[in-house]
Amino acid sequence: MALKERIKALRKQLKMTQEDFAKRLGLARNSIANYEIGRREPTNAIVNSICREFNVNEEWLLTGKGEMFIDFSEGEELAAFCGKLCAGTDPAIANALLYYSRLSDEDKEFVRTLMWNLGNFEKK
């Protein structure tokens, strides 16, 4: 299933019209129609908005792998963790943690190695 089909499947699963779906995202109805017929691809910002607004698994939306929705209890736990850890800091930190949590174990190891190298820290 292509991205355009997953966007339409998501909207149908939510029992929303294109108009309602678009309004929740701050878009025009024809933007959603264009995504669903494949005339246009949503930007990364729109993909992020869809995932955030509807609690959608970004990996599923982009690749079709995994479940359509993020387990709500996991989302609540992560939000509480980020709220405590990132209180008073740049919201980019909370987003970075959220995206990190969605990575595969192999990709997390890559990010950890990259961060260690950027900081010139010795691995323990």
Q: 42 with 91, same domain?
A: no
Q: 59 with 81, same domain?
A: no
Identify residue 63 by its one-letter amino acid code: T
Q: 84 with 57, same domain?
A: no
Determine the pLDDT at residue 97. Answer: 76
- Asked if residue 28 is part of any domain, the answer here is yes
Q: How confident is the model at residue 87 (pLDDT cuts 50, 70, 90)?
A: low
Considering the chain, what percentage of its residues have pLDDT values greater than 70?
Answer: 77
Determine the pLDDT at residue 114. Answer: 86
pTM equals 0.60
- Asked if residue 124 is part of any domain, the answer here is no
Closest CA to 4 of 18, 23, 20, 19: 18
- Contact assessment for residue 104 and residue 95, using Cβ atoms and an 8 Å cutoff: no
- The C-alpha atoms of residue 26 and residue 46 are separated, in whole angstroms, by 10
Q: 76 with 59, same domain?
A: no
50 compared with 87, residue with greater pLDDT: 50
Query: 100 lies in which domain range?
Result: 72-118
